Amino acid sequence: MVSGLVEAWNAHDPDRVAEFHAPEYEGRDIAQVRSEIGPEGARQAFCRFLKAFPDLELIPDELLTEGDRAALRWRIRGTHQGPLLRIPPSGRRLEFTGVSMFEIRGDRVVRRSMLWDLAGVLREIGLLPALPQE
């Protein structure tokens, strides 16, 4: 199921992304104030990423599953060509990492928590200073 969701992201298909989410879906993203609710909330969240990175590529690095739970460690590559969290496009090619934790019922996601390296993204686009080298 998670592999199909990754494929939908990489196909840049918001309708297909939405189909992987249950009507009672609730998603949390560390960078967002509000939860994503239902398939439409998942669709809108995906569209925000796609607008920011029209050439987005989601690379699954590790997938762990146990029962109705899954954890996906991933990377996203793309060119920052649209607003991201109200940050204007930088035109920079970025790669950042994250982890998504899923609760699945049947063949749909009912809950997701997403943690990603927002500080790293802000450093790559020049809004935070680079970390000192030790």
- Residue at 6 is within a domain: yes
> In which band, very low, low, confident or very high, does the pLDDT at 28 lie, cut at 50, 70 and 90?
very high
- Residue at 11 is within a domain: yes
What pLDDT, on the 0 to 100 scale, is given for residue 123? Answer: 94
- Residue at 54 is within a domain: yes
**DSSP assignments along 8-30, one per residue:** HHHTT-HHHHHHTEEEEEEEEET
What pLDDT, on the 0 to 100 scale, is given for residue 134? Answer: 79
What pLDDT, on the 0 to 100 scale, is given for residue 131? Answer: 84
State pLDDT tens for residues 102-124.
999 999 999 999 999 999 999 99
State pLDDT tens for residues 44-94.
999 999 999 999 999 999 999 999 999 999 999 999 999 999 999 999 999
3-state secondary structure of 45: helix
Number of domains in the chain: 1
Here the tokens at position 9 are 């992201």
* Rounded distance between C-alpha atoms, residue 27 and residue 113, angstroms: 6
Domain that holds residue 110: 2-124
- Residue at 81 is within a domain: yes
**CATH code of the domain in which 67 resides:** 3.10.450.50
Here the tokens at position 107 are 């063949």
> In which band, very low, low, confident or very high, does the pLDDT at 128 lie, cut at 50, 70 and 90?
very high
- Residue at 133 is within a domain: no
- Residue at 8 is within a domain: yes
- Residue at 132 is within a domain: no
